[in-house]
Structure formats: C-alpha cells, structure tokens
C-alpha cells in the first residue's frame, strides 16, 4: 500500500493585480499546481524535478499543510489529509518532516546543535531521553562533541547532517527534502546523498526529494516526476526515465544536467525561449513554445496523459 497518494492535486495562488483581473474578467487565481497525481510507497524515494517556478515547493508546502489544496486528494497512511484541521496537523507534523533548503540559515543561530536536534521532541511535548542528542548525532555520522556547537561553527555538510538529524528526531514516516545538496561541494553532495540512503535503509522512512539536480535524482530515487508549469510532463521509475525519456523536456533536462554519454546522448538539446508563466499558459501543450520537436498542431489542444506500462508522459509526439 502506498504511504502517500496524491490525486489530481490543484493548488492556486491569487493573481497580482486583482483589480485588473476583475475588470478584464480574468479569474482571480491561477493554478501553480494544475492536476498532479503520484504515490510514494513506504521506505521508497521519489524525486520531483523541474526548473524554478514549476511548482515543486508549492507541492511540498501543500503536503505539509502550509497551503490548502484548491482541489484533489492527498491520502497519507490511508487517511485523507487535504482537508485536515489543526488538531490532526499537530499529529501529522510528527509523521511528515521537512528538510528546508539553506542548511545554515534554516537552523536557529542561538541554539546549540544538541538543542536543535532535540527541539522537535520538545515542540511536540515529548520527553527528551538522556543521551538523545548524542544518539541523533550518531545517526547522521557526527560525534557527540558537536552538541555544544552553534550553527555558524558548522560547515555546509555538517549543517546538512544536523538538518537530517532534526528531521528524523520524531521518527517520521515521510521526509521531504528540499534541494538537499544545494550549495554543497560535489564531494560533500555525495556524502549527504549516501547519508540519506543509509538513514532510509535503517529507519524505513520514505523520502520525497525536490531538486533541479538530476544527478541527485539518479543517485537516490526509485521513481521520479518531471514538472513543467505546475504539471507532470513525465513520471515513472528513475531507471526507465534515464534509460528512455519520452518527453522532449525530459530529454533536454537530461542532456543539460548530466555528463554527456559519448555513446548515446552526446548532443546537448538547447531549449529556446523563456519559461512561460502559469498565470498565462500557452494554448495547447504547455511546452510547445520551447519544444525542439513541436509541430503545428501542438498548440491546438493540451495533450492527454498516456501511461503505457506505468511510464507516464504528456506529449502528442513522444520520443521513441
Ligand atoms: N505566495 C505566492 N503567491 C503567488 N504566486 C506564487 C507564490 N508562491 C509561488 N508562486 C508562483 O507559483 C509558481 C510555482 O512556484 P514554486 O515556488 O512552487 O516553484 P518551484 O518549482 O518550487 O521553484 P523554486 O525551485 O524556485 O523553488 C510560480 O509561478 C511562482 O511565481
């Protein structure tokens, strides 16, 4: 059974310029997430990939209850949570935890590492057992001597480790990691990804990784989805998508992000044009204005979602 099941999720924001919208009779809101469906099984890792503004953080904020869905369903551990009230969220926040971007900035500068990692227990009114800080630090490969230090005394990689320890303090079922390797050197990036994989093996936590870095996705995820303008353009197992991308946008991202493979994808696919805004979607396929393979009818109507054998994509003319 899936731990998290999201169906046709829509999340909207108010447009800027309400008065203009009112006069021109445009809708007052726009969909930053426009009908997204996915599942994550217990103990598995999914990657959510897309350029800035594609809606990744909006999905994360909705999953953890900071934003209400406009429509659709979010089932977590068998229960609908899209309409959960305050009391239920108090419980859910113990079971879903979020690792924010910006390792050092997201840690309170006045608390020691020891207090930071045990703080979630205190917030949820739990007793902090003797030696708990040392146990949590050990879980993320830091010695107990780190407990009295302050965030500004940590390197980027150590701050990430403290972020992971803090996120695991309440033994959550789902961990949402927003750009877990941002601003880290390549070698430290690898360490943090290995740490997440190791922590998952030991605790069985499911992980949703949000990133624009395809190397991160390739390294640790089982399944992945590629977002464009608030919709999935492709979704499937990570192995399948890397082996055989079907959507031209996925192909372009793969060719831009990864070391070129001399045998297969030697050519880099350059995308032309600006990323459109979800406030003013193009007609037809969202991607046709930048697609190197677009044909004249791609602007007529939006393509439907096809999912032969479970590997889904949204394109009239998928790659072979
Ligand atoms: N509070 C807000 N009010 C209005 N529009 C917003 C708000 N937050 C985000 N948006 C818009 O919603 C869309 C999706 O933004 P979102 O931050 O979810 O994208 P993202 O993929 O997470 O980007 P990034 O990688 O930069 O964090 C964008 O068009 C953005 O401008």
Q: Is the pLDDT of residue 208 over 60?
A: yes
CATH of 2-246, one of 3.40.50.300, 3.40.50.11710, 3.40.1710.10, 3.30.70.20: 3.40.50.300
Residues paired with residue 98 on neighbouring β-strands, in sequence order: 176
Q: What angle do CA 85, 87, 88 make, to 5 degrees?
A: 65
Q: Which of 34, 44, 12, 33 has the alpha carbon at shortest distance from 209?
A: 44
What mean pLDDT comes out for the span 124-140?
92
Collapsed DSSP state (helix, strand, coil) of residue 150: coil
Q: Which atom of ligand 1 is nearest to the CA of 101?
A: 27
* pLDDT computed for residue 270 by the predictor: 77
Q: What angle do CA 6, 306, 77 make, to 5 degrees?
A: 15
CA dist 63 to 9, 97, 129, 267, Å?
10, 10, 30, 37
Residue of the nearest CA to atom 28 in ligand 1?
53
Higher pLDDT: 86 or 290? It is 290
ipTM of the complex: 0.97
DSSP string, 211-256: ES-HHHHHHH-SEEEEEETTEEEEEEEHHHHHHS--SHHHHHHHHH
Contacts of 125 (CB under 8 A, 6+ apart): none
Give percent of the chain above pLDDT 70: 93
* pLDDT computed for residue 101 by the predictor: 80
Domain boundaries, the chain: 2-246
Measuring from each residue's beta carbon to the nearest atom of ligand 1, which residues come in under 6 Å? 13, 32, 50, 52-58, 277-278
Tell me the chain's radius of gyration from C-alpha atoms: 21
Contact indicator for 62, 11 with CB cutoff of 8 Å = yes
Banded model confidence at residue 22, pLDDT cuts 50, 70, 90: low
Banded model confidence at residue 41, pLDDT cuts 50, 70, 90: very high
Banded model confidence at residue 107, pLDDT cuts 50, 70, 90: confident
Q: What gap in Å lies between CA 313 and CA 190, rounded to an integer?
A: 30
Q: Is the pLDDT of residue 102 over 80?
A: no
Give, for ligand 1, the residue of 12, 13, 50, 279 to mutate: max count of ligand atoms closer than 8 Å to Cβ. Answer: 13
Q: Is the pLDDT of residue 76 over 60?
A: yes
Q: What gap in Å lies between CA 289 and CA 273, rounded to an integer?
A: 7
Residue of the nearest CA to atom 5 in ligand 1?
13
pTM: 0.92
Q: Which atom of ligand 1 is nearest to the CA of 54?
A: 21
Q: Which atom of ligand 1 is nearest to the CA of 15?
A: 4
What mean pLDDT comes out for the span 2-24?
82
* pLDDT computed for residue 238 by the predictor: 97
DSSP H helices in 73-222? 86-95, 113-123, 132-139, 156-168, 186-203, 214-220
What mean pLDDT comes out for the span 150-177?
93
* pLDDT computed for residue 24 by the predictor: 67
Helix (H) or strand (E) holding 96: strand 96-99
């Amino acid at each position: 059974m899936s731990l998290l099941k999201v169906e046709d999720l829509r999340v909207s924001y108010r447009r800027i310029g309400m008065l203009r919208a009112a006069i021109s009779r445009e809708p007052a809101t726009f969909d930053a997430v426009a009908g997204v469906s996915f599942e994550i099984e217990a103990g598995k890792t999914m990657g959510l990939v897309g350029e800035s503004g594609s809606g990744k953080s909006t999905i994360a904020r909705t999953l953890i209850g900071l934003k209400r869905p406009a429509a659709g369903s979010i089932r977590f551990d068998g229960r609908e949570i899209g309409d959960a009230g305050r009391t239920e969220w108090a419980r859910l926040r113990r079971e879903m935890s979020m690792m924010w971007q910006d390792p050092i900035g997201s840690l309170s500068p006045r608390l020691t590492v020891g207090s930071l990692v045990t703080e979630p227990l205190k917030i949820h009114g739990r007793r902090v057992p003797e030696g708990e800080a040392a146990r949590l630090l050990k879980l993320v490969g830091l010695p107990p001597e780190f407990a009295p230090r302050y965030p500004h005394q940590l390197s980027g990689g150590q701050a990430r480790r403290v972020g992971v320890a803090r996120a695991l303090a309440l033994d959550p079922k789902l961990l949402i990691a927003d750009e877990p390797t941002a601003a880290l050197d390549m070698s430290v990036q690898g360490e943090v990804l290995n740490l997440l994989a190791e922590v998952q093996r030991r605790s069985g936590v499911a992980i949703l990784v949000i990133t624009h870095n395809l190397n991160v996705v390739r390294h640790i995820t089982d399944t992945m989805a590629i977002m464009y303008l608030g919709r999935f353009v492709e979704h499937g197992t990570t192995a399948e998508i890397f082996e055989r991308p079907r959507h031209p946008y996925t192909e372009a991202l793969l060719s831009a992000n990864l070391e070129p493979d001399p045998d297969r994808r030697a050519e880099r696919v350059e995308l032309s044009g600006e990323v459109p805004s979800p406030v003013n979607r193009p007609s037809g396929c969202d991607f046709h204005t930048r697609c190197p393979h677009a044909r004249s009818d791609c602007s007529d109507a939006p393509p439907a979602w096809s999912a032969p054998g479970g590997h889904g994509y949204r394109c009239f003319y998928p790659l072979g």
